[in-house]
Every structure is written in structure tokens, then in C-alpha cells.
């Protein structure tokens, strides 16, 4: 599973099979998988490495559900990493510079 959404799909399918179809399972492994899916943001699993990212602490969208925020980060993580987006488009550094300037001085 290399796409993060696959973990959620797997969790849903397993939850259904365990709770509705009474699938025999290892309870300890199931509990670990549930905790991982519930408390982690993105999970990228590869053959010899697994990358786990926390959920963002801020995520902003416009009325069309496009990543967007005016004059602030649209996506931000607890460690300070941020993504600026204007209706899903990432402004270039030049655009960010002009957005931060006083309109009277530009």
C-alpha cells in the first residue's frame, strides 16, 4: 500500500469483516492497526521503509473545496511546515512577496 487512502479502505473493510462477518483475527494486531489508522495522518508503506506523517493542524478550503486561504497558510503542520494556496494554486515566491507588501508602496 503506497497510497495513504488505502489504509483507510483496508481499515473499513477489516472492521466490517470483523464486526459483521465475525472474521477470526489476531486481536493484538487488529488493535495496533486501528490505533495506527485512527491517530496517524498519512501513511506511505514501501518495501523497506514506512513514512508516517501527522495530520495537519490547519487545513483551509474555499467554497468549492479547493485548498485556499487569504494571506495565510492554507495547510499547516505542528512543526511549522506550511503550504500557501490561492484557490488550489500555489503562489510563486514573487507573488508571495507582493502579497506581503503594503499596496501603497508597490
Which pLDDT tens digit goes with each residue over 79-93? 888 888 887 665 654
Find the mean pLDDT for residues 46-75: 87
Task: Output 18 or 99, whichever has higher pLDDT.
Answer: 18
pLDDT at 98: 54
DSSP readout, 65-101? S-B--SSS-SEE-TTS-EE--BTTBPPPHHHHHHHHS
Distance CA(104)–CA(106), nearest Å, equals 6
Whether residue 94 is predicted with pLDDT greater than 50 in this model: the reply is no
At residue 16 the predicted structure's pLDDT band, cuts being 50, 70 and 90, is: very high
Find the mean pLDDT for residues 8-37: 91
Q: What is the mean pLDDT of the chain?
A: 80
Amino acid at each position: 500500500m503506497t497510497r495513504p487512502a488505502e489504509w483507510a479502505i483496508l481499515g473499513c473493510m477489516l472492521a466490517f469483516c470483523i464486526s459483521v462477518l465475525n472474521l477470526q483475527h489476531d486481536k493484538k494486531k487488529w488493535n495496533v492497526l486501528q490505533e495506527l489508522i485512527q491517530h496517524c495522518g498519512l501513511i506511505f508503506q514501501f518495501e523497506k521503509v514506512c513514512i508516517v506523517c501527522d495530520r495537519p493542524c490547519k487545513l483551509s478550503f474555499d467554497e468549492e473545496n479547493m485548498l485556499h486561504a487569504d494571506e495565510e497558510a492554507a495547510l499547516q503542520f505542528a512543526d511549522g511546515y506550511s503550504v500557501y494556496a490561492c484557490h488550489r494554486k500555489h503562489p510563486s515566491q514573487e507573488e508571495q512577496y507582493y502579497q506581503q507588501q503594503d499596496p501603497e508602496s508597490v
